[in-house]
Structure formats: structure tokens, C-alpha cells
Structure 1
């Protein structure tokens, strides 16, 4: 695309839809949707975002060869809508860990969001293609490659690709509802009837090792808890949520071998929009449970934890 032409109104709508779709996968989930400032960084009871960012930057200086450190910094910068900074951090991460499809797709997304005019920069496309080469099922890369088709004029092809992604999406995946909404929105924009196909589409049954099976049975904050908290005054919201997450973390300190609780902590962090903390929970959980690293990583991928 010639970026001198800028984005059309349709392309802008697609990118908005893209951002909403990836919300579940990158952390801007129900909690942020209920707020009046959806692009604001998630608050922390421990330190202001600037202090957290400084700590993450310090970690990359002390651990310049750590993909985890650069991934956490990239996720934090993305949370702060510093997409250029997120791109730079993810580029460092993929240079260290080039075999991670999740890192390549996170880099591609950051490059898309950093672009002010071109809805699919060549560098972003390259990152998504590398992600797909490593993992043909990477949902973020598949989504954005369909976006590429749509902004190129192949609206039906894009919708077909999104339906294929929907067919592979497990029941309860964070992006499922937003993917359906995206298909509806793009169909409406381009006068393509998708209602019957959506009605016939059923979510894929969960495999035995996929996240919601384990996590739903773990005591701790659920999306319903978060939504209930959103009805409280802000101070009570913060106290309620922090109490739940603190309780979960306390259990992990007492028993770091509880893999299911690490999964729940990742889900809680993603629901709160704390993607950097979710990435740290993945790293800590794998360090404490090397024998369960494959399972933790698979579940983190389902949640959309950066770098998974």
C-alpha cells in the first residue's frame, strides 16, 4: 500500500476492529472495556507505571541477553500506547529468541500500531509471515494476515480467513467474541452477508490441556469477579481486585509447584491488562516448574501472553 494516500475510513474501521479483536489476546480485556479510558495503562498498587517501566528498562540493562526481559519491556510499553518503544523492545527479543512465533506476531502487531498511515507496513507483514512460518496456527498472525487481504480489497478472502480462524478457536478463548464481532463489522462495511455462517459456526471443543478447563476450577478472580468489581466505586474496585490477586500470589509463594495457579495468575493479569506481569508470571511459573514448561507455554499462548 502506498502510505502517501493515508488510510481510508474503511481501513481505519478495520484497524479499530483489529485492536478490539486482539484485546483479549494482548490484555485490553473486559476490565479496560468497562473503563472510560481504554488505552490508559493498567494501574498498579505497588508503583506508578513510570516506576514499573524504569524497573523493566533497568532489567534489560542488567540482562541484555534475556528475551524475557525485552518481552516484558515490550508488553509494558505497548500497555502505555508507546508502540514505537514496544516495537524496539520486541525487536531485541526476537533477535535473541527468533524461534518464538508469539514474539514475531507481537512484534508485527506493535509495528502495525506504530504506523500512523499504512495499515499494514511491510515490516509488520514480514513479522507476521515469520510467525506463521514457525506456527501456522498463530492466531494473532492469522488475524492480521486476513487484515492484509481486507485492506488490499479482498474482503471476502479476509472474511473466509477469519472464519477459518474462528473454526480453530477453542471455546472460551479470549478473542472468540471479538473475532465474531469483527466478522460482523467487516461484513456490514462491505455488504457481505455473514449472519448464516456465523450462526452455523460452533466453537471448537476444548482439548484436555487447554486453559479454561483447569483455570475455571481454581479459586481466584474470574471475569465475573472483575465485572462485579467494575460496579463498585474506584477505591473499592482496586481493593477488591488487589485482594484477589494478592491471595492468588500468596498461594503461589507457599506452593510454587501449583501449575494451575500460575495459569490463573496469568489469566488474572491479562484480564487486568497487565500484559508485562502476565509475561513475568509465565517466566516465573516455568522457572519453578520446568517439567510443566510446555503446558504453561501452551496455556499462555491461548491467553495471548506476550512472548509465549
Structure 2
């Protein structure tokens, strides 16, 4: 409570120091008009003495008296004028001062109550810095790296440091560009290519695009055992409708994984989601004659198309359907699915961008316009 009293006193003193002159009567413009009139009368008497001594002529005396009379008249007019402000003007100024003195602090309190945080407890600066020291240090370090790279865009080491940070922050497009710069300037590695592929996939809403496939393939060339690249390539097989191949890829990845690998859980969960219905369907198709297997696969694709045609569907499902129809060389069906997917996902700009990339990859872009 003491702090509010101190603030109120300080505010009142500041406002009063500004408004105090407005409440005072203004001094007269000429404060010594009586003395000026006496001086002019003395001048007239001096003219009479000079005339009696015959120091000046009668015409000169009359001219001097006329000039002195004019000066006396002007002095009398000044004395007759009101000295300073009139009483109504002074009352108006004092009323305005009183209103301002009361309304300015009240308005400040109302604004602070509406937009401020009067109920928030006080926290010293040292405590604030201590509580958020890690976040501030990270933000400062990130800003310094970005400023350094803006001034030195050919620093490959800097891009190698910045790219994983962007990926963790969810800035996937920036991460993909940073990984590409690191590869170009600091040399290709399997992990950089795999991370760039992941960033491109996440930027496309989970769709394994052509650019992502190329980056993942480069990663596997450099390191055939790279788990990140192999996992996302299996996701690409799944999106192509090659469920048995995707299952085999994930099983091989798990078979060679260390027991304490942190990525075993996500890979096993993905494999479990593909097995079951997929295994039974693949087994049933495998038992069919070779000439009937194509028809069975087409039936599965048509079933997916019918389900999605009834409504809904995710970007991954639509991408899988469009890819499968393209693999089966059913271009009209792929174009129709592409158009329907764009209508269903029109509210999602990222999904539309992923569909546009998929259309360009499959050669459906020009025909779908």
C-alpha cells in the first residue's frame, strides 16, 4: 500500500507543477506605467523652463509639448487597460486545472486496471533472470548464430549447428535449407542427408516427397545402416501402397537395431500398425495366381478410393491413393483423386502444397490444372 501512496504523491506533484502557473493571475504587461507618466510630465515642465529661458523658440516648445502630450495619452491608455487576466478567464483556467489534476491519475488507473496486471506479484529482476536464464541464453545464442550466418553465409560449420536447432523448433523449411547449405559447404554426410529428408517430409505434412526420397537415398548410399533414412524410406513405400515391402523394411530395421536404441519404439509401433490386416491381405494375394494378383491389388486400391470418396481422409491416405493409382497406370483415377483431395483439404495450405509437390513428382501437375 505504501508504494501506491508514494506513486499518488509523485503523480500529484508532477501534475501540480505543470498546472500551477495556469491558476495564477498574469502580471500586467507594463508594470511601471505610473512612473512613465511622471517622467512625461517632468518633460513638459522642462519644456516650459527652457521656453522661459529662451533656450528654445515658441514653435519648438509647442511641438515638444504636443509630443509629450501624445506620450502621456498612450501611458494613460495603458494604465486604463486591465492588468493581466480577467476574472472569468482566471476561473476557467483554474477549473481546467482542477479537472486535469483529478482526471489524469484516474484515467491512468483505469487503463492500468484494464490492460495491466495489478494482481501479479512483484518479482525482482534477479529472480526473473534466474528463472528464465536457460531460455534467454538459448535465444541469445540462436540470435548470434543467425547474425553470424547472415554476415558469413559460406560458413558451413555454422549451418551444421543451426540446422538441427531449426528442426527441433519445428521450422522445417528453414531446417531443410540449413541442412542443404551445410551439405554444400561443409561436405555431405549420411546424417545430414537423412535429417534433410526428414525436414522435407515434415514440411510437406508427412508426405515423402521426391526431394525427400532423393536425400534419403543419398544417406543410404553413404551409410546403408542409417536408421533415420531407412525408416522414412519405409514410410515412402507405405505411401506408395507397397505395404508388404514397407513391413519387410521395418522388420529388417528392427532386426539390426541395438536393444537400447531410442528409436526402436516408434519403428515397432509403425510396424504393428501395418501388420495384421496387411499381413492377411498380403498372404491372401500371394496365394492367388499371378494373373489374379494384379486384380486383387486393384481391388484394394479401389476399396481405399471408395472409402475416401465417402468423406474425410488424411493427407497421407490421399497421397497413398494417388500414388497407387499412378503405379497401376490409372491416370484418370489419379487425377480425379487429386482433385478431390484438393477440395477436401482446401483449408490446409500445407496439405495443398504437399499435393502440388506430389502432382509434380507423378507428372499430374499440368494435367490437373
TM-score range, shorter chain: 0.3 to 0.5
TM-score of the aligned structures, taking structure 2 as reference length: 0.38
- Find the structure with the greater CA-based Rg: 2
More helix by share: 2
